[in-house]
Structure 1
């Protein structure tokens, strides 16, 4: 019975956030050009729904592309590092160093290489996704105990069998934790890449509406980007429930 009403709690949290937003607007007398009230934003979402949809599609394509490529690279690197300590010692510090470069500083470099195309934006989103997946997957692959490894040796398991039957299942909770982070980070990466230069996209719409002082469109664009990130997060969560069935709820 308790689990059947679990979906109510997020709705209560969302409703309380909207109520707090309205209370701040009314209580502090915030001007509409600074922060519109929730009803105004709701009307703007409906009024500009086709404009938002036209700009949301390229952002979604960039985020999904970056999500798939970045997580694939992160998973492959983690698999390589767990099987070769020497390669890990050589290249893992380089990956960490590369991750320390602010993405807003790296974006112009990638745009110079790939141009103002979707490729550069996918690359930026992929870079943001890669490192969390690499670190979490590596930790998951190494989470097997010494006794489990000894048992696999006694059973004469090959390295491939150890990976597929022991390391990979053990790493799944860690992998999906990384995927949840990447689901939202990929949207951030796509939007940041559009800030540097784009003809379409939610990031471009945010910049344009800010400079035009169209605050209601700005907040509507932010809401659209949040809806995209939440949708991707929700899909990853559903996939986790389907694949990682042995994990306790």
Structure 2
């Protein structure tokens, strides 16, 4: 009997510890982000007041309450269109950044390659995505491929620029030391250049995380019957403003979520500041 009582007490203590941990996490999050939380709440309250005070028609600008109801009424539609956009943005993020990182490594170790192909990357970046999207749709059709390519192109250039700068930011003293120790190029890369580039890389990845969502949505505007971009077009043409605003909120939330995922990974990988290396 005493064993049962002791076991129940242990179960209660473990449960209490879990609840305490969750409470501490919530309080810690609020303590770190309360200015942003209050700022967002203030903007929403101002939005609600302006719509109410000026009697703005719903088809022009719905109130936050109407947008909130739109989530409940169209939850299945929003979820069904969120998943394709998330997949396109994620795959574009992976492939665009992977190619950019590989090219950056090549450029650092080959000045000829950098002089030859860096200007081409700049030219591609200078072409508006809204102009490239129809061309890619004509070539690859209305499937998922052009959406991934466009999302990848938006991610590509910032990562390429930052990664090249980061790889070249390695401490000259550390590079000299590695040469004295007769280190190979691969050892110099993994032990000196790559660690030096990580703060630059994650700065670019955080930009790319939000840009990839924008790229996927722009691609869906050009030619698609699914995804958040297609839903935005449909809601606009049918004057379903609450659904339109709800879709925009979902798209923004997706971009912010990807940003925080990259930031979380950065906090686990990069535990030093860039100038701490010198």
TM-score bucket (shorter structure) = over 0.9
1:57 aligns with 2:83: yes
1:147 aligns with 2:173: yes
Residue 210 of structure 1 corresponds to 236
1:84 aligns with 2:104: no
CA RMSD of aligned residues (A): 1.5
How much has 1:119 moved relative to structure 2? Answer: 0.9
After superposition, the C-alpha distances for 1:46-84 in whole angstroms (9 at most, x for unaligned) are 211110000111011000010000000111111110111
How much has 1:28 moved relative to structure 2? Answer: 3.7
After superposition, the C-alpha distances for 1:65-110 in whole angstroms (9 at most, x for unaligned) are 1000000011111111011111101110011011100001000111
How much has 1:16 moved relative to structure 2? Answer: 1.6
How much has 1:242 moved relative to structure 2? Answer: 0.7
1:135 aligns with 2:158: no
Structure 2 unmatched ranges of 5 or more: 1-23
SS in 2 for 1:7: helix
Residue 18 of structure 2 corresponds to none
C-alpha separation in 2, matches of 1:232 and 1:145: 31
Residue 94 of structure 1 corresponds to 120
Please say which structure displays the higher CA radius of gyration: 2
Residue 220 of structure 1 corresponds to 246
Residue 118 of structure 1 corresponds to 144
1:36 aligns with 2:41: no
C-alpha separation in 2, matches of 1:26 and 1:56: 30
How much has 1:8 moved relative to structure 2? Answer: 2.3
TM-score, structure 1 normalization? 0.95
Residue 19 of structure 1 corresponds to 45
Residue 255 of structure 2 corresponds to 229
How much has 1:199 moved relative to structure 2? Answer: 1.3
After superposition, the C-alpha distances for 1:205-228 in whole angstroms (9 at most, x for unaligned) are 000110000101100110111111
How much has 1:247 moved relative to structure 2? Answer: 3.5
Residue 196 of structure 1 corresponds to 222
Structure 1 unmatched ranges of 5 or more: none
Which moves more between the two structures, 7-16 or 75-84? Answer: 7-16
C-alpha separation in 2, matches of 1:161 and 1:10: 43
C-alpha separation in 1, matches of 2:239 and 2:112: 55
